[in-house]
């Protein structure tokens, strides 16, 4: 018996040791017995080919980028389950896509679902797998040859290869940028290639190149599968070495190869721009994959990967101002215009990229956001970063697709599959609690709404739809009454909803005002703009004044834009004593957002103020997704005596509605700090009387992290589906 126990113990210990060494440490023996390297993907000149068994056929990448976020969870929690993935894969393939792109290793649920979906499927989905480099490392003091950069990057590449071959175990916490689990399903037969890295920080690239420019050890690389040309930079040599090592590892351990690309974007593109453009955009670095070549030992091939969006940085728009000659980019000035004569610098830029490269070019990220807020404009085609309806999003994605195909690109991947509540945008992040973003849907932050799949509040439907149907409202929702007028309210994870009722309301002739009091720190009981008086200090005023002049305004002391961007927009420091608004100032101002546009270049004036966008302007329309005339950007709807309104939380200066935290007084803290409130006050008036409008309390209760949501395929999904599956846009 004792010998048996010892034997069993030895076997168990040996198994544990084997499991640890093989699945966790990645130990292996090369496969010298394999005569030929297996690959089903290849490159010839500027085309990508797939071997389906009857020889190579040209393969057009019709892809969708997929993140790892869902409401109530950070992306690094990798909380999406297998059933959800299976459902999403079906939607994606039905849309006409053939490829999914992911940025890093997901939880094992993704790979198990991918295997289950494709196994036995005559028309499988394919995968482009990424390798992530952390933002912390890229924005630290480290260069690209630091062990925390290069060493971690190469180890992540090997780990990713093991994962797709079903030969890895990753414990929880192994990496903040990777999922975890037991990866036992081999999905390599459907993985067409890798995109290594992320949107490189230009400062990191420039720092690396400058640091090692005179050190020959870092200016070139020569490996079995990849090598650099004499023009390569130290950063490019690092990439070549990482690429060479991942090819070597997969070849030796698994006897396979697949396509390789290195991530890139306009900020580190290979072009030289005019001095004015380069200085304004701080274009200080290049990553040129033409300096990275492959040997005959690499039988699959290399392609160039770029993230390119229509609106920023739109270099060619500003090159056109200062330089008539575009021959340096391989195109002519007439290439800036479509066949119909419309200026399209996005299409021209794609043509320049395509003509520059000797390998296939894939636009691995492109898209527009359906967020209500906006961060950047496309001056020519209107494909902006935000404030695009779902219908316009679909049209814009198709137009981008046409541009990349017209340029001769080998395909592209739409960004992105699903909306992600946790994300942030540069021009709203100052206004919100960045530690709580997954717990509410911030419609003002455009970065959250690039998806073709929406997450709307409510388990099955939202608590209210702004569509003129008031059946979801009851007498219990009434907050304040003023003669023949009343205002009701309710809310969810995305909006504060209001119902204003006025007997015999004449929308085209009358104006309604809804004062809102949130903060106890400031506000005014008088609005000089419209000569209105209130019984308590109001911070906001919602004005319903026809289809084109309805808006929400804020008392000037509580203007968020001014708190942070006064110098950029108004060209003065609001914290200087003479510029500080009174706590009870009666002036109410428009609510604007700062945009990232090159006004200094446009006007040839370095002192020009930043461009803004009036985000407080309210759009009249039907906000019910099930309606034929649905407008996803609708803010209010009028039906007879009733006006339904929805206001995004951030427009009311909420930093985190899940805990009912709003902005404190900016001038007590020199910026945005937060205070918690338990109620806000509402009233309603038509401005006809001279008495003070009474404001009544709406009790506010947060939901902490207990979010509710349901999935909804956006209108854009069906538009793209109609185009990709039928070659024409389906009528909506």
Q: Determine whether 499 is exposed, middle or buried from the number of CB atoms within 10 Å of its CB (0-12, 13-18, 19+).
A: buried
Residue 17 has pLDDT above 80, yes or no: no
What string of H, E and C letters represents the secondary structure of 268-293? HCCCCCCHHHHHHCCCCCCCCHHHEE
Q: What is the DSSP code string of 644-685? A: EEEEEGGGGTEEEGGGTEEE--HHHHTS--EEE-SEEEE--B
Please give the DSSP secondary-structure letter assigned to residue 348: H
Q: Mean of the per-residue pLDDT values for the chain?
A: 94
* CA 210/CA 241 separation, integer angstroms: 19
Q: Residue 169: which residues within 8 A CB-CB, separation 6 or more? A: 19, 23, 24, 181, 182, 183
According to the model, what pLDDT value does residue 340 have?
Answer: 87
Rounded to 5°, the CA angle 679-684-689 comes to 135
pLDDT in tens, 419-473: 999 999 999 999 999 999 999 999 999 999 999 999 999 999 999 999 999 999 9
Q: Are 612 and 569 in contact (CB under 8 A)?
A: yes
For residue 173, what are the CA distances in angstroms to 170, 363, 464, 517, 549? 8, 32, 40, 45, 52
Residue 26 has pLDDT above 50, yes or no: yes
Please list, residue by residue across 442-481, b when 16 or more beta carbons sit within 10 angstroms of its beta carbon and e when fewer do: bbbbbbbbbbbbbbbbeeeebebbbbbbbebbeeebebbe
Q: What is the DSSP code string of 85-141? A: HHHHHHHHHHTT--EEEESS---HHHHHHHHHHHTT-SS--EEEEEE---HHHHTSS
Q: How confident is the model at residue 32 (pLDDT cuts 50, 70, 90)?
A: low
Nearest-Å Rg of the Cα atoms of the chain is 28
* CA 410/CA 33 separation, integer angstroms: 35
Q: Which of 27-41, 53-67, 520-534 has the lowest mean pLDDT?
A: 27-41
Task: Indicate the SS3 state at residue 604.
Answer: coil
Beta strands in 337-452 (DSSP E): 361-366, 374-376, 385-386, 411-414
Residue 372 has pLDDT above 80, yes or no: yes
Q: Which of 70-84, 261-275, 309-323 has the lowest mean pLDDT?
A: 309-323
Please give the DSSP secondary-structure letter assigned to residue 149: I
β pairing state of 41-44 and 642-648: unpaired
Each domain of the chain, given as residue ranges in start order, spans 59-276+284-302, 464-707
Closest by CA position to 500, among listed 354, 618, 388 = 618
Q: Are 181 and 107 in contact (CB under 8 A)?
A: yes
Mean pLDDT of 173-180: 90
pLDDT in tens, 706-719: 999 999 999 999 99
Closest by CA position to 205, among listed 159, 238, 162 = 238
Please give the DSSP secondary-structure letter assigned to residue 583: T
Q: Which of 190-194, 537-541, 601-605, 718-722 has the lowest mean pLDDT?
A: 601-605
Most confident option among 9-18, 370-379, 591-600: 370-379
* CA 471/CA 196 separation, integer angstroms: 53
Residue 33 has pLDDT above 70, yes or no: no
Residue 25 has pLDDT above 80, yes or no: no
For residue 286, what are the CA distances in angstroms to 312, 318, 585, 607, 689? 17, 19, 51, 29, 65
Tokens of 437: 């973003």
| Cβ neighbours, 10 Å, residue 83 | 10
Looking up tokens 């039907």, which residue turns up? Answer: 622
Sheet containing 540-544: which strands, arranged edge to edge? Answer: 588-590, 551-555, 540-544, 512-517, 679-682, 696-699
pTM over 0.85: yes
Mean pLDDT of 627-649: 98
Alpha carbons within 13 A on the beta-carbon side of 443:
25
Q: What is the DSSP code string of 468-533? A: S--TT--GGGEEEEETTEEEEEEE-SSEEEEEEEETT--TTT--EEEEEE--SS--EEEETTTTEE
């Amino acid at each position: 018996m004792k010998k048996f126990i010892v034997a069993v113990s030895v076997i168990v210990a040996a198994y544990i040791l084997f499991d640890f060494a093989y699945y966790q440490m990645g130990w292996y023996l090369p496969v010298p017995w394999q005569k030929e390297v297996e690959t089903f993907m290849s490159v010839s000149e500027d085309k990508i080919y797939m071997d389906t068994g009857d020889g190579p056929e040209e393969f057009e990448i019709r892809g969708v980028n997929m993140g790892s976020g869902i409401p109530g969870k950070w992306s690094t929690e990798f909380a999406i389950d297998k059933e959800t993935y299976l459902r999403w894969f079906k939607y994606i393939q039905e849309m006409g896509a053939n490829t999914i792109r992911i940025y890093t290793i997901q939880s094992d649920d993704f790979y198990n679902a991918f295997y289950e979906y494709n196994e036995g499927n005559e028309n499988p989905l394919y995968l482009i797998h990424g390798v992530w480099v952390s933002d912390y490392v890229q924005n630290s003091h480290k260069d690209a040859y630091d062990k925390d950069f290069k060493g971690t990057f190469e180890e992540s590449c090997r780990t990713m290869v093991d994962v797709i071959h079903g030969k890895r175990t990753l414990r929880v916490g192994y990496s903040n940028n990777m999922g975890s689990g037991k990866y036992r399903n081999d999905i390599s037969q459907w993985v067409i290639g890798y995109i290594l890295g992320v949107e490189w920080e230009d400062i990191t690239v420039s720092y690396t190149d400058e640091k090692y420019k005179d050190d020959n050890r870092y200016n070139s690389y020569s490996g079995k599968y990849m090598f650099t040309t004499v023009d390569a930079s130290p950063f490019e040599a690092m990439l070549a070495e990482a690429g060479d090592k991942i090819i070597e590892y997969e070849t030796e351990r698994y006897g396979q190869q697949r396509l390789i690309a290195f991530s890139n974007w306009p900020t580190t593109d290979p072009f030289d721009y005019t001095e004015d453009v380069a200085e304004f955009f701080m274009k200080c670095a290049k990553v040129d994959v033409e300096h990275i070549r492959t040997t005959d030992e690499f039988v699959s091939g290399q392609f160039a990967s770029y993230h390119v969006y229509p609106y920023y940085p739109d270099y060619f728009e500003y090159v056109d101002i200062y330089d008539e000659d575009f021959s340096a980019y391989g195109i002519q000035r007439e290439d800036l215009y479509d066949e119909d004569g419309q200026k399209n610098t996005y299409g021209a830029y794609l043509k320049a990229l395509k003509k520059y490269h000797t390998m296939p070019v894939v636009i691995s990220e492109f898209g527009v956001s359906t967020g209500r807020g906006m961060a950047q404009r496309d001056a020519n085609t209107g494909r902006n970063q935000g404030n695009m309806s779902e219908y316009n999003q679909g049209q814009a994605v198709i137009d981008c697709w046409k541009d990349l195909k017209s340029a001769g690109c080998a395909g592209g991947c739409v960004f992105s599959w699903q909306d992600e509540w946790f994300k942030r945008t540069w021009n709203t992040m100052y206004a919100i609690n960045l530690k709580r973003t997954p717990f509410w849907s911030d419609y003002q932050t455009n970065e959250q709404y690039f998806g073709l799949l929406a997450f709307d509040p409510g388990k099955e439907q939202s608590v209210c739809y702004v569509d003129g149907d008031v059946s979801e409202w009851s007498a219990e929702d009434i907050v304040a009454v003023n003669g023949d007028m009343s205002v009701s309210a309710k809310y969810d994870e995305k909006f504060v909803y209001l119902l204003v009722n006025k007997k015999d309301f004449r929308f085209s002739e009358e104006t309604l005002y809804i004062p809102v009091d949130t903060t106890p720190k400031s506000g005014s009981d008088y609005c000089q703009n419209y000569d209105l008086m209130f019984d308590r200090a109001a911070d906001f005023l919602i004005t319903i004044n026809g289809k084109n002049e309805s808006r929400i305004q804020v008392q000037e002391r509580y203007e968020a834009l001014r708190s942070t961007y006064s110098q950029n927009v108004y060209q003065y420091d609001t914290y200087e004593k003479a510029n500080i608004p009174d706590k009870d100032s009666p002036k109410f101002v428009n609510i604007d957002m700062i945009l990232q546009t090159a006004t200094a270049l446009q006007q040839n004036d370095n002192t020009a103020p930043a461009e803004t966008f009036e985000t407080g302007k309210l759009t009249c329309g039907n906000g019910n997704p099930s309606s034929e005339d649905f407008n996803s950007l609708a803010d209010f709807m009028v039906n007879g005596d009733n006006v339904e309104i929805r206001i995004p939380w951030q427009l009311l200066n909420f930093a985190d509605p899940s805990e009912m935290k709003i902005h404190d007084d900016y001038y007590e803290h020199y910026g945005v700090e937060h205070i918690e409130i338990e109620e806000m006050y509402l009233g309603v008036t038509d401005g006809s009387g001279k008495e003070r409008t009474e404001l009544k309390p709406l009790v506010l209760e947060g939901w902490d992290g207990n979010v509710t949501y349901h999935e909804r395929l956006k209108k854009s999904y069906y538009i793209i589906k109609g185009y990709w599956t039928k070659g024409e846009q389906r009528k909506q």
